[in-house]
Amino acid sequence: MMRIANIVVEALYLESYRSALKEEIEASVRLEPGVLTLYAVSAKEDPTRFTILEIYADHAAYEAHIKTPHFIKYKSTTLGMVKSLELVDTVPLVPGMKIK
């Protein structure tokens, strides 16, 4: 399962959001075997815009991920920081391609 998350945060909360996102990603990748990658970037021209490439082993791994304590903490901590969230389910162009 692959998804792109496009997130815009309030500028006032930029550093707090970055910290919460970093903590959540590191915990997810370390603790959850079904989370293959969560790769986050922010736009150079507008650092309040984040894009996260999410790759899970399967849909069950995603469902398990959103029920973990670290994800729930991230969502509750950042709820008032996020101006917009767009989740885009994707299909890989080269399905067998591995991230080095």
Q: Which domains does the chain have, with CATH numbers?
A: 2-90 (3.30.70.100)
Task: Calculate helix-pair angle for 14-31, 69-78, nearest 10 degrees.
Answer: 170
Compute the distance between CA of residue 73 and CA of residue 81 in angstroms, rounded to an integer: 13
Torsion of CA 42, 68, 55, 30, to 10 degrees: 80
pLDDT in tens, the chain (100 residues): 999 999 999 999 999 999 999 999 999 999 999 999 999 999 999 999 999 999 999 999 999 999 999 999 999 999 999 999 999 999 989 888 777 7
Give dist(CA 22, CA 16) in Å, integer. 10
Instruction: Please give the model's pTM, rounded to 2 decimal places.
Output: 0.92
